[in-house]
Amino acid sequence: MNIRTRLAVQFLVLASCILGLAFIIVYLRAADFRKDEFNSRLHDRGENAANLLIQVEEVDDHLFRKMELKNPIRLIEESISIYDADDSLLFHMGIDDPMEPKYLLDRIKENRTLTTSYNDRESFGSVFRNDDEHYVVVTSGIDRFGRRKLADLAKVMLVTFLIGIALIFLVGRVFARRALSPVTRLVHDIQEISATDLSKPINIGNGTDELAQLAISFNAMLARLRSAFLSQKNFIANASHEMRTPLTAISGQIDVLLLKPRTEEAYLTALRSMQEDVRTVNRSSDRLLLLAQAETEVTAISFSPVRLDEVIWAARENLINANAQNTIDVIMSEVEDDADVTLPGNESLLHSMIANLLENACKYSPDHHAIISLKRVGSAIELTVEDNGPGIAVQDQERIFEHFYRAQNTSETRGHGIGLALVKRVVELHKGSIAVFSEIGHGARFVVRFHCGK
């Protein structure tokens, strides 16, 4: 059973229960009204007979019977009995065997009124007072017309109920179809999406209900998948290019060396060149691995308290050991205790972030000099890296954090376009922000801020 039919059936069951309960209440109320109305007629007939026979001397038993023969309000199979205080029958008109059981007469005297029924015959007994004398009047009859009306009402209600539930089911299916039409459209749109084309968004309908929110969430997921697939595609293409260039150079140098015997100096020169190309491959692969690690979900990366000052000194030492020409000044201000420079993070990723910023600063500065400062600003830790290199053009500042993108004025300097993309991703993983301030010819300043509280 599909959702549309299930909703229609559930709606039918609920509406049927409500409608059926309403009809039952109406029927019971109508039955009570019929009974009260017929009892009232029985009481009036008995009271009128007692008044005429007991209080009016001119009316005797014979005259009363003649009067009742043509009475238009006489009940069907009517029976009227009047008893004195000693339970003796004074008057009876109607069916044979009029004697009421003594216990019934006693109950009428005790309760003043009493209603009973046997099959279709209904009786009403009451106490009639005349001066100091008490009489018991018992009137009975058959409410054939009232019961027929009640039966007709039951038939009308049953037919109305059956027609009503049929209409409710049909209307329920129509409304269920209309209510689920966005789901049908959503399924159709999803079926048209393929792994090679994630650019077509799903219609969000009115943009406010739950299905619209589902479509919005699905579109957001598509956007993330599209971005991930595009990033993966670019990553593979650029990584292949970055690896192929030095490997091609190594292969070419080996081919040249094998063409003919070379001097020892030529071999040493070629080996040094190939060694540099191998180091380039290693650095590229290391950064690609770090970038792949940084691209994983935050929940897959372990975090622990990390002191940024220690990470800065470790990164500085590694860069100076790698190239003795590098000089890095470390400035720390407004740092009173360890908590001022400690944040929850991944030490390996933070080290790679700082190392990449410092390496770029040293690489692009003519004197291989970089300045890194660390300070506490309210509830944030601010880290700044400055260089005196060629600067970054405004149009390049918006793209330098993209994978494998390199500014136009850096073409003469060896690089891979991975470092700053890795830096930005690491900053995002640590809930931080990064900004670049630069002018052509006046160096560049990168400012990283981590909001970690104190």
CA–CA distances in Å: residue 207 to residues 201, 210, 215, 224: 13, 9, 9, 20
- pLDDT given for residue 383 in this prediction: 92
Tens of pLDDT, residues 405-429: 555 545 455 545 567 887 888 888 8
Q: Name the residue type at position 74.
A: R
CA–CA distances in Å: residue 368 to residues 97, 256, 365, 409, 446: 131, 34, 5, 17, 16
Residue 372: pLDDT over 90: yes
Residue 265: pLDDT over 70: yes
Most confident of 289-298, 329-338, 367-376, 407-416: 367-376
Residue 4: pLDDT over 80: no
Sign of CA dihedral 176, 177, 183, 187: positive
Q: Edge-to-edge strands of the sheet including 432-438?
A: 327-333, 369-377, 380-387, 444-451, 432-438
Domains of the chain: 3-150 (3.30.450.20), 210-294 (1.10.287.130), 299-451 (3.30.565.10)
pTM of the model: 0.47
Rounded CA separation 63/47 (Å) = 17
Tens of pLDDT, residues 102-130: 888 889 888 899 998 888 889 999 999 88
- pLDDT given for residue 39 in this prediction: 92
Mean pLDDT of the chain: 82
Among 25-29, 189-193, 268-272, the least confident range: 189-193
Of residues 242 and 434, which shows the higher confidence score?
A: 434
- The pair of three-digit structure tokens given for residue 17, joined into one six-digit string: 């229960």
Of residues 84 and 211, which shows the higher confidence score?
A: 84
Mean pLDDT of 402-406: 61
Residue 56: pLDDT over 60: yes
pLDDT band for position 175 (cuts 50, 70, 90): confident
- The pair of three-digit structure tokens given for residue 418, joined into one six-digit string: 């991975």
Tens of pLDDT, residues 424-448: 888 888 889 999 998 888 889 999 9
- pLDDT given for residue 405 in this prediction: 57
